[in-house]
Amino acid sequence: MPPSSSLLLRNTIRSLQALAFGHLFFTRFYSTGGCSGPSMLPTISTSGDFILISRLHTRGRGIRQGDLISYLRPDQPDVLVCKRVVGLEGDFVLVEPRGPAILEELEELGLIGEGAVGGTMEGVEEARGRCEMVQVPAGHCWVAGDNLDNSRDSRHYGPVPLGLVRGKVVGRIWPRPGWFENGLRRVEEENEFGLD
C-alpha cells in the first residue's frame, strides 16, 4: 500500500474511533442542553445557559438533596426542565417553603381572609393548605426552583417520579463555564443546651 493510502486509512480509522467514543460518551455518560427562564435565578441565567448533564444519574440514581436535576415535567412529559432537589423518598417537605410568613403577609395586604375585597375564608384555607407538610412517596423526589416566585415545580404538580429524571446537572459549559455545587447546607440538630 502506498504511504498516502496508509495515512488516509489510519486517519479514517482514528476519526471513526473518535466519533464512536463521542457517541458513547454523549449517550451513556453525559449530555448537553440549553436551560433558560427565570425559575433557576441566580444559578442559571434567564437568557439561557448551556449545561452539562451527567447521565449516570438517570432515573434518579445517586441524586441527593440540593442537586440540580434535569427531568421531564410530570404534567407535560414533552418538556425537559431543570430544578433543585429539595426532598427524597420519605422526607417531609413544606409545600410552600416560605411557610406561614406568606399567610401573614397575604392577610396583612388584605389579599386573603374575611377583610379582603371579595375575600372569603376559602382563600385563607387555600393559602394554609400550601403551608402544610407532605411526605415524598417512594420512587419520587420533590423539586423547586431557586427563584420560588417564578418557578413551576413540585408545589404545582407534586412529587416527580424518579423515572422522569434524565440526569444530574453538573456544570455550565457556556457562558461562564464552571461546576455546580450542592446548593443546600446541612442544618445540624442541637440539644436543648446547645451541645452536640
The residue from 54, 83, 151, 168 that is catalytic is 83
Of 9, 144, 163, residue with least CA distance to 74: 163
| Catalytic residue flag (residue 39) | yes
Question: What is the residue type of 88?
Answer: L
Grid cell listed for 92: 417531609
Of 34, 137, 25, 44, residue with least CA distance to 83: 44
Of 56, 59, 63, 53, residue with least CA distance to 31: 53
Of 140, 174, 167, residue with least CA distance to 68: 167
Catalytic residues, by residue number, are 39, 83
